[in-house]
Structure 1
């Protein structure tokens, strides 16, 4: 018998990350039985992409109970706008259903508590799709730390860079509003905080941070004109906009597709959603999130994280160093190689023992999104977690909560100019002492 999945939030990620694999690679054991969304046009797009599933039942955003009663799903996939995650995760848990949710799990510490409480009272369990964990480079780092190659972890330096194409894309979409996304310290940095939590197997306890809106919004230095309500496709100032002209030629309307939306054109319809366009002006005054952060995070076993992220740089990638009582790991990754204007080396890991010779580890790379991580994550989601690994890799609700709480602590520290504890954000110490970061 096939496992039955219902999708809440028929987003681009829902289509590409979940619906497509279910309809193709895992069609022998899995099936989509229900779709829930506020916008009927998203159902049309789904049916265009997967005509063999045109009979899948569809439901409005307030029809969760009816969907569950009529389609009898085994698992709820939550992949809509970030601020919608909590209500569907909790509703599923209240009905003892398992949940697969896009990251961030939710957008606030308050919603983290609600999800954790709901899971404690439920037979269902939450899985958060932190696909960065599955990149071969990242799993190798996990293995080296677990093997004791660098001893007890003392500090981590992580600097993340998004280029002017990917970084600006968040400011064209709903992500630019904190009430919808939680801000980029949650929406994007949740990836990064989870990676560090998982690598070092420690829990964050306190955060101090600075942040600012340096590039986007009406005061951005490269804003060609202070005027709200523009869209890239119809804007009169695109030739004076460095962000637009860098990634779009005069001959072609769109030269480089959006990282997250990809080609969602359906049947010749560039913007296939009701009342929503992903080409809003990155200089609008409604933008209320930051594009630059620098933070220090303290962990429960003494490790310190020095973290920064910047959403408008000439190239994309990260620089990582992990220090321990017996040595140090270093690696540099360049993402989106087709957009980097200079040659980039294949990523390796440099290992420096405290006393001894440096080693360079060449990791076998894999095909697939997120550094080859997506196909491995999908195997665990739809076939069951590979039990041969010497560590747990699928993320649960507590992992999702720690990453969100760290992100919320970052922007609260920025706002309030003081250290913020994770306990302040989660407001229940039992979650700091229960379980482990998986």
Structure 2
């Protein structure tokens, strides 16, 4: 039986769990890792193999120079993704990269060219695309049982401990993470592109910082348990901020609202906030012949056709990210072994990042952004 060897570049918590799950399949083997923190590299190896078996390379280039390694998994802070993706393709490796794959349009264009020239497989870590609840939503929308999509209202409103986690670690710094709508909500942009089966041509957006600011620091003293629930689990902290997320220096936004018009004339509203007593990750589809609501946190998918007496409800509560963590690794393994194209490729990573960057540009400029020239650069017809 063929055994595929892979390496890991960037040994943070997310890649630690994904690499361990992948390494459980006998068809693939983790050969080694690299991280600027030796302690983090050791922890990932121990998480994957009880005896910590595996090589800790001196640089990520050493992984790329190892001819036995066919696939690399990239989980570095976002600012390093583009450089490492491009280098991996030039070294003749297949690539799995965590999201977002780049922080600028220029980087996305360079990635697209490097991928095209490499003739290698490219997978993006959009675990929600693999979640049962969203796959069911896709089937319902494609069946046209609800008619055509008219508009969508979406949201990602996370709990205080989730927002606090973001505002205390490297993700709070735009130069490392990109804007919040890219770092945190690029999953949602991918889902919108996929479920609507189009891309936005015009975007307006608003947002800034109103929650995690010094004026609200009394909330940390009042509800310390609510703002300290997440632990990175890292041996060595990377660009860690103040323990009080309200006082931590930050260059990202804690709230964003976007309005988009898609090329197929679907209208979208999307909201992202970082501290909520009632969390929600919801997509509400208003269609010509019915309504569909998908809410990830509760695992509820409900829909009703015009004329139906009852609402149809499907309970799809699953494991990590709605079972997406299981299926993304299972299907990545199948791509690695069989050579078939990943379900969620680099092209999806590129298109979702373009949307998120468009939202951030529209927010910064305070005016509606025409996305059509950008799509033309990437050869996307709108």
TM-score (norm 1): 0.80
Task: Structure 2: state its 5+ residue gaps.
Answer: none
Q: Compared with structure 1, are the counterparts of its residues 240 and 74 closer, same or farther at alpha carbon in structure 2 (3 Å cutoff)?
A: closer
Corresponding position of 1:407: 356
In the alignment, the residues of structure 2 paired with residue 137 and residue 427 of structure 1 have an alpha-carbon distance, to the nearest angstrom, of 29
Q: Give secondary structure in 2 for the equivalent of 1:414.
A: helix
- For 1:100-154, what per-residue CA distance to the aligned partner results, in whole angstroms no more than 9, with x for missing partners? 1111122222211111111111111211111112222211110000111222212
Pairwise CA RMSD: 2.6
State the Cα deviation string for residues 60-118 of structure 1 (Å, max 9, x = none): 44x41x32223521111111111111111111112332111111122222211111111
1:253 aligned residue? none
Range 320-329 or range 4-13, more displaced: 320-329
- Return closer, same or farther for 1:156/1:275 CA change in 2, 3 Å cut-off: closer
Q: How does 1:345-356 map to 2 (within 5 A)?
A: 347-356=299-308
- Give the drift of 1:58: 2.0
2:79 equivalent to 1:83: yes
Q: Separation in 2 of the partners of 1:194 and 1:101? A: 15
3-state SS of paired residue (1:214): coil
C-alpha displacement of 1:362: 1.8
Task: Report which of the two structures shows the higher radius of gyration computed on alpha carbons.
Answer: 1
- In 2, Cα distance between the equivalents of 1:12 and 1:431? 35
Q: Distance in 1 between matches of 2:206 and 2:375?
A: 23
Aligned 8 A contact 2:254 2:273 in 1 = yes
1:5-404 superposed matches below 5 A: 5-18=6-19, 20-24=20-24, 26=25, 28-52=26-50, 54-61=52-59, 63-64=60-61, 66-218=62-214, 221-224=215-218, 241-246=221-226, 256-258=229-231, 261=232, 264=233, 272-273=235-236, 276-277=239-240, 280-284=243-247, 286-333=249-296, 335=297, 347-366=299-318, 368-384=319-335, 394-404=343-353
Equivalent position SS for 2:321: helix
Kindly provide the CA deviation profile for residues 246-273 of structure 1, in whole angstroms up to 9, marking residues without a partner as x.
Answer: 356xxxxxxx343xx3xx2xxxxxx511
Gaps of 5+ in 1: 225-238, 249-255, 265-270, 336-345
Partners of 2:316 and 2:276 in 1: CA distance? 28
Partners in 1 of 2:198 and 2:141 — Cα distance?
12
| Cα distance in 2 for residues equivalent to 1:53 and 1:77 | 21
Change in CA separation of 1:177 and 1:70 when aligned onto 2, cut-off 3 Å: same
> Any conservation in 1 of the 2:211–2:275 contact (CA below 8 Å)?
yes
Which digits, 9 at most, give the CA deviation of each residue in 1:3-34, with x for residues without a partner? 1111111111111122x11333x1x1111112
Q: How many residues align?
A: 379
Q: Is the 8 A contact 2:332 2:342 kept in 1?
A: no
Residues 179-215 of structure 1, C-alpha deviations (whole Å, 9 max, x = no match): 1111211011101111111112112222110002011
Q: Check conservation: 1:222, 1:242, Cα contact below 8 A.
A: no
For normalisation by structure 2, the TM-score amounts to 0.91
- Alignment check: 8 A CA contact 1:214 1:291 kept: yes
CA distance in structure 2 between the partners assigned to 1:421 and 1:31 by the alignment: 46
